[in-house]
Structures are given as structure tokens and as C-alpha cells.
Chains A and B, each alone.
Chain A
């Protein structure tokens, strides 16, 4: 196998970041404590952002941190702490045949996604995007020219979501 195109420092960096991300992802489902699971998810999102950085996609990576790590996960933690889920033992599930079905469906999903993703990834030697790909300028230009209608429709959808949540909160209070 020809290894001359492999950039070893990059590969090492990728191995570290991807390894931590995978461990954190396992931790999300493995920890019995809800707060620790949420923290593992935070680490996972963070590592994902670092992966985007190594691929020259700073904009995507930073959006990942702003939206998921900085906003959504903070709210998750907030809700978990407010709910006060109680002892971890109460959250343990009963051992029954659910895990067999889960394993089968998980393997099927892995095979499905793998078969679709692996083929286009064959023989790709340059792992990075071009420097201008995904920069704020190009993202802005694409959003406001080619995808203007989807963008506006999404913004209206978000507005409806905000107004709806205010309405729900008010009704509960009054």
C-alpha cells in the first residue's frame, strides 16, 4: 500500500480527536448519571468541532460550539438539574430482551449508513477542503442567493416556534 500521501501529524491529531469523540459518545449511553451523560455529550460536540477545524471548516466548527455546546447543552444541563432525577439506581432499566432487538437494529443502521458513506470516500487523498470552502463570506453568499427561499422559510418557522413557546408558557402561568 502506498503511504506517501499520508500526513502523519495530521493523522495522529485525527486519531486523538476522533478517539476522544468516540469514547465520549460511548460515555453518553454508558453512564448511569444523567449529568455525566450530558457532559460526555458536551465533550463529544466539542471534539466534533475540533474535527471540523482540522478539515479547514472553521465556520462549521464554531457554529457547532455556539449552537450545541454553548446553548443547547447548557439548557439540557439546566433542565436535568431542575428535574432532579434522583438516585441513578432508579434509572437503571430492567434486563430483558430489548437489548437483542437494539443490537440488531443498531447493526442494521451501521450497515446502511456505512454502505452509503464508504463508497464515495474511497480513494480520497486530500482530506481538507479548500481554504475558501465554508468561510463566512461563501456561506453568506450561498444562503442569500441560491438558498434564499429555504432560508427565509426556515426563519419564519423559527419565529413560529418562538411565538408558540411564549404562548404555551403564558397559558401555563395564567
Chain B
């Protein structure tokens, strides 16, 4: 079989290899989506101090089972299967006055970018046996590819909202397009900082750069970008933007249930809704993977440079573990990212629409641009005066950026006249009238 394969034309071999890599990426992501849904429901219920789905898959208390299995429930792990069966057998209602072609087309369009985004993510080392397995395409435009594909995510939502011929759906679609366009800019700028510091758009180069000594000074620790000052700022901006790009709480305005019923997927039922659902979770997974690759050292388990720790037996074993189980560490980091998504959802209330816009345009974009200038300054100072001067100037410049930002924010707050309109009106039972309560006095009252 292998012999026959090696005698085929190189084009054929390339195509088969590429298809294999695609399957190796797609199948795990598809299989992990139900797990993500289960984890979200259980983790969220734990955070909200309730039990959550814990019953599906409970074994009977029959004597035929071994004693330790009788009546065990396994934390409701089979719940996603029950959910899937329910979604399959639900009545599939198609409204009458829709744009039929686009209506059926939209869920597929929503699913595509979520999976295509993973095309450049390396989930293993780029040498040794993993070289042929990952990433699917190691193109020299990796980061640009990611930005391009994530910018396509808006189409599924907009088309679904338009084709449904429902005012709430259309509102959801329009909100989504405005939101995604706004947050793409800050996301691009935050990634551009890392690209500038790293000098390459390739994601494998990015992971290699994070295997260098920390800050160029600590030989036994890895230089994960989240540990550098500019990288930390970028990481925070990217984390906010990726939450907004995947339409997750607190940025889930396109599907805000108390304003828009269910937003863009109001008119979708059964499997077509399930496809939107799946696309959202796959996008969460892949964006967590992007975050892990760009800021958290990619497939490396811990920020420790094993090769700098000498060559004793145990160090070699641990380095081997780090190398051979690389995909596991990568998926572990994705799981941490998804848990962060759920944590954010459980913690923060949904933003108002004008707050969403002002956060994106007035806070994140200027901050990311300032960070970009800081990185450029750091590179210049390092090239001219050496690494020490570079770091000092980077930290000082970052502090200056923050100071300017804070003062601009305060000035803006003082100058804004709209604050008067945003006071909360409460009905005071004692006076039976309407009292104006200032927002800051709300806690005291």
C-alpha cells in the first residue's frame, strides 16, 4: 500500500496529504463541539450555583452491573447526544415569505469561516513527524489569512437576518455586521503588534519565536508573547475582540433575546439552527486556538526551555513529553480559552449598543494603535541602543500611552452632555413619584 502510494505522481501525493491534514483538523474539532456544549452548560451552572444537566446517561440500578456502576450518572456526559437527537427530530419549520435560496445557504456560510480559520494553526512542532501533519497550509501570510477568514464570519449572520424576512432578524444581522466590522480593526491592530515584533506573518515562525529565551535575558524560560509588556496589552485587546467576533456574551447583541427574540436565527429551527450553534462553538474553539498560538506559546506545555536545562535524564523525558504530546497541550490551551469564554459570559452583563461601539472605536482601536507605536519604538531602541534601552523605552512609552488614554477618557466623560439622559429613573414607593437617581449613587440608595 505504502509502496503503491510512493509510486504515484507527486501532485497526487500532495493532494492526498493535504486532504489527510484537513481531516486530521476537522474531525477533532467536530467531535469536540458536543463536549464544548456540555462543558458550557455544566461550568455555567456551577458558576451560577445551580446543578445543570446531570441526568442523561444514568445507569440503571440493576444487579447485572458491577456494584460501582449501579446508578452512576457520569455528570450528564451524554447530554449533548440527547440535545442532538432533539434537534434532529424537531419539526423543521420554514416560513413562507422568505428568500429561499439565501435562507438555506446562510447556515452553511456561517459554518465555513469557523472551520477554515484553522487552516494555518500549527498544533504540533514543525519538525520531526509532526511536520507533515500540521498545519494544513504553512503559508507565508498566516496572520493575514486569519484576518481575512474571520472577516467572512459576518456573511452568515447578515444573510440569515436578511433572508428570514423578519424585522428582528434583520436588526440582528445589521447589528452583527456593524459589530464585526468595528472589532476587526482593533483585532488586526493587536495582531499587527505581534507581527511587527516577530518579523513574520507565518504562525509556525511565531511559535518558534516564542521558544526563544524570555525577554532575550532569562535562558530557561520561553518568551511567550503574553509575558512581554506590549504582548500583554495586545492579548487583552485580542481577547475582547475575539469575544466580540464570535458573538458571545457580553457582545451577543445580534441575538439579544430580550430585545430581538433570538436575533438572526429567530426563523431557523431544527438542524438549520443546530448548524448555527455548531458554527459558534467551532469558532470559539478555533479562536481560542489562535489566541494560544499567538500569545500562549502554541503547542508548548509550559514556558520552560527544556534544552537550556542541561541534559539530565528527567529533563530529557519531560522535553520528550512536551514534544510528543504537543497536540494534547494545544487542545488543553483551547479548553482554557473556552472556559474563559464561559467565565466571561457568566460574569459580565450584556453591553448596550452605544457602549459596544464606543468600546470598540474609542478604547480598543486607539489603545491597539498606541501599542503598535510602542512596539515600533521598542524595535528601534533595541536596534540602536541594545536590548536594555529597548525594554525601558517600551515600558515608559506604554505608561505614557496609558496616561494619555486615561486623561482623554476623563476629559471625554466630563465633556459628554449625554450623561444626563442616562440617569436611571426609579419609582420611589415612599413618595409615590418618580425620582432621578444618579448612576453612581445607585449602590448607596
Q: Does A17 contact B (CB under 8 A)?
A: no
Query: Do B141 and A74 touch (CB < 8 A)?
Result: no
Contacts from A to B (Cβ < 8 Å): 9, 35-36, 39, 42, 58-59, 62-63, 65-66, 69-71, 74-75, 77-78, 81-82, 135-136
Query: Do A74 and B154 touch (CB < 8 A)?
Result: yes
- Minimum distance in angstroms from B41 CB to a CB of chain A: 33
Q: Chain B contacts of A63 at CB under 8 A?
A: 144
- Minimum distance in angstroms from A41 CB to a CB of chain B: 12
Q: Measured between alpha carbons, how far is A135 from B149 in the docked complex, in Å?
A: 19
Query: Do A62 and B158 touch (CB < 8 A)?
Result: no
Query: Do A62 and B155 touch (CB < 8 A)?
Result: no
Query: Do B141 and A77 touch (CB < 8 A)?
Result: no
Q: Measured between alpha carbons, how far is A42 from B158 in the docked complex, in Å?
A: 13
Query: Do A78 and B177 touch (CB < 8 A)?
Result: yes
Q: Does B178 contact A (CB under 8 A)?
A: yes
Classify chain B's interface size.
Answer: 20 to 34
List B residues 222-255 near A (Cβ within 8 Å). none
Q: Chain B contacts of A66 at CB under 8 A?
A: 144, 147-148, 151
Which applies to chain A's interface (DSSP): helix, strand, loop or mixed? helix
Query: Do B140 and A65 touch (CB < 8 A)?
Result: no
Q: Measured between alpha carbons, how far is A58 from B140 in the docked complex, in Å?
A: 8
Query: Do B148 and A65 touch (CB < 8 A)?
Result: yes
Q: Chain B contacts of A65 at CB under 8 A?
A: 148-149, 151-152
Q: Measured between alpha carbons, how far is A66 from B178 in the docked complex, in Å?
A: 16
Asked, given contacts A35-B162, A58-B140, A58-B141, whether A74 binds B148 with beta carbons under 8 Å apart, the answer is no
* Contacts beyond the supplied A70-B154, A81-B158: 5 A-B pairs with Cβ under 8 Å: A36-B102, A71-B184, A74-B181, A81-B170, A136-B140
Nearest first, the 10 A-B pairs at minimum CB distance are A70-B151, A65-B148, A66-B148, A62-B144, A58-B141, A78-B177, A62-B148, A62-B141, A74-B154, A136-B201
Q: Does B85 contact A (CB under 8 A)?
A: no
Q: Measured between alpha carbons, how far is A74 from B175 in the docked complex, in Å?
A: 12
Q: Chain A contacts of B170 at CB under 8 A?
A: 81
Query: Do A71 and B144 touch (CB < 8 A)?
Result: no
Query: Do B144 and A74 touch (CB < 8 A)?
Result: no
- Minimum distance in angstroms from A80 CB to a CB of chain B: 9
Q: Measured between alpha carbons, how far is A136 from B139 in the docked complex, in Å?
A: 11
Which of A42, A71, A78 contacts B174 (CB under 8 A)? A78
Residue of B nearest to A35 (CB): B162
List B residues 171-186 near A (Cβ within 8 Å). 173-174, 177-178, 180-181, 184
- Minimum distance in angstroms from B86 CB to a CB of chain A: 33
Query: Do A75 and B181 touch (CB < 8 A)?
Result: yes
Q: Measured between alpha carbons, how far is A169 from B330 in the docked complex, in Å?
A: 46
Q: Chain A contacts of B159 at CB under 8 A?
A: 39
Q: Chain B contacts of A135 at CB under 8 A?
A: 140
List B residues 256-272 near A (Cβ within 8 Å). none
Q: Measured between alpha carbons, how far is A82 from B158 in the docked complex, in Å?
A: 12
Q: Chain A contacts of B173 at CB under 8 A?
A: 81
Query: Do B144 and A82 touch (CB < 8 A)?
Result: no
- Minimum distance in angstroms from A136 CB to a CB of chain B: 5
Q: Chain B contacts of A75 at CB under 8 A?
A: 181
Q: Measured between alpha carbons, how far is A147 from B428 in the docked complex, in Å?
A: 68
Query: Do A81 and B148 touch (CB < 8 A)?
Result: no
Q: Chain B contacts of A42 at CB under 8 A?
A: 155
Query: Do B11 and A81 touch (CB < 8 A)?
Result: no
Q: Chain A contacts of B141 at CB under 8 A?
A: 58-59, 62, 136
Query: Do B140 and A74 touch (CB < 8 A)?
Result: no
- Minimum distance in angstroms from B114 CB to a CB of chain A: 15
Asked, given contacts A70-B152, A71-B151, A136-B201, whether A78 binds B178 with beta carbons under 8 Å apart, the answer is yes
Q: Measured between alpha carbons, how far is A39 from B158 in the docked complex, in Å?
A: 11
Q: Measured between alpha carbons, how far is A62 from B148 in the docked complex, in Å?
A: 7
Most buried by A among B139, B147, B149, B152: B152
Residue of B nearest to A9 (CB): B11
Residue of B nearest to A65 (CB): B148
Query: Do B147 and A74 touch (CB < 8 A)?
Result: no
Query: Do B144 and A59 touch (CB < 8 A)?
Result: yes
Q: Does B145 contact A (CB under 8 A)?
A: yes
Q: Measured between alpha carbons, how far is A62 from B147 in the docked complex, in Å?
A: 9
Residue of B nearest to A53 (CB): B139
Q: Measured between alpha carbons, how far is A82 from B174 in the docked complex, in Å?
A: 8
Most buried by B among A9, A58, A59, A70: A70
